Amino acid sequence: MTPLFEFAPVAEADFGDLLALRIAVMRESLERVGRFDPQRAAQRFRSTFRAAQTRRIHVGGEAAGCVATWDEAEALRVEHFYLAARFQRLGLGGAVLRRLFDEAPPYAQCFRVGALRGSDANRFYRRHGFVQVSESEWDIEYERPRAPPD
């Protein structure tokens, strides 16, 4: 059964906790591609962290993860979507995405997300209707139309 969740706001003071979550979630994938470096992870997270657009994900009052969204030219960018290990593979990630899709502003014609090459997140996003639109040395970019094809 998919856990029920709630979103909670994030403040700038939450940066350290969310960075620790990001590192814990991404460490294995980054090590697999030879890119694990806590300092680089902190710099990359800091460069795109937007507290006002980020929300914590709570399950039963416990912090389970976070997700950020922001506008990008007729699209909604999904960024910094991390679930603590014990909350993965329970259907929670899909439930969070469905809520983001449902709550998206009307002008958002598609959703965009990026994932590290070699990360399990790639399978997750493809399973939820995202298709690859570009690839760089380290990352894969995906888009999903607002109403995915049947």
pLDDT in tens, 97-144: 999 999 999 999 999 999 988 888 999 999 999 999 999 988 999 999
| Region 62-77 average pLDDT | 95
72 within 8 A of 107, measured Cβ to Cβ: no
pLDDT(7) > 90: yes
Whether 150 maps to a domain, the answer reads no
Residue 3 has a pLDDT of: 84
Whether 1 maps to a domain, the answer reads no
Query: Residue 90 belongs to what domain range?
Result: 6-145
What DSSP string describes 45-101? Answer: HHHH--GGGEEEEEETTEEEEEEEEEEETTEEEEEEEEE-GGGTTSSHHHHHHHHHH
Confidence of residue 149 (pLDDT cuts 50, 70, 90): low
Confidence of residue 36 (pLDDT cuts 50, 70, 90): confident
Number of domains in the chain: 1
- Residue 55 pairs in a beta bridge with 9, 67
Which is higher by pLDDT, 138 or 12?
12
Whether 26 maps to a domain, the answer reads yes
Q: What is the CATH number of the domain that holds 82?
A: 3.40.630.30
